[in-house]
A = this chain, B = another copy of it.
């Protein structure tokens, strides 16, 4: 595979914007998707402007981000990342399932959360986790990965802030997972950690709820995970 194209389904929210800029600053080809082509291009322009101020001397050149309507973006991408709120995830994927190109890989970034009881609770959909639920509406032939679920949108979008943490990657296709982990590792100080198959999703999604609870107790917005025991 040549340099892969990374597309974001509805990449106009904080999570998509943050990841898009970090990938583009690492020199990767990024496409922002949106239901509106105009909106997608507007956000891409905006992100190109912000990211340009954060290129590092001696580092890779910022690769110009493009904007496209979601369907065209899915058809053009090697990795398709879903960065919508979970309540829209199933219907969004049903509408786009026919647009995946041969050989592309789906990456679920969503987490089903419930804030209604004054606390942050992870929601367990009938299939056992958000990812297992979405697996049903992503084409069976498209490898399904999960990544970035525990990363605070606040940190992702604060492009001047170092990630300085781990991200847990799982999936139902080992080869696709290994390739994607190499792509993820190009974001400085973000270490991809392989946690196995889709059965890991329930725990990883639960960890997002724990991080949000910790944020609330510690009155901060950037709680994230780091595995101790290696390289320190």
Contact = CB atoms under 8 A, between A and B. Distances in A.
Interface of A: 119, 121-122, 152, 164-165, 168, 193-197, 199-200, 202-204, 206-207, 209-211, 213-215, 217-218, 220, 222-230
Given A203-B203, A203-B207, A209-B203, A220 B214 contact: no
Copies of chain A in the complex: 2
A71 B215 CA distance: 40
A171 to B, nearest CB: 13
A63 to B, nearest CB: 28
A223 B227 contact: yes
Contacts of A203: 122, 203, 206-207, 209-210
Nearest to A217: B194
B227 A200 contact: no
B223 A195 contact: no
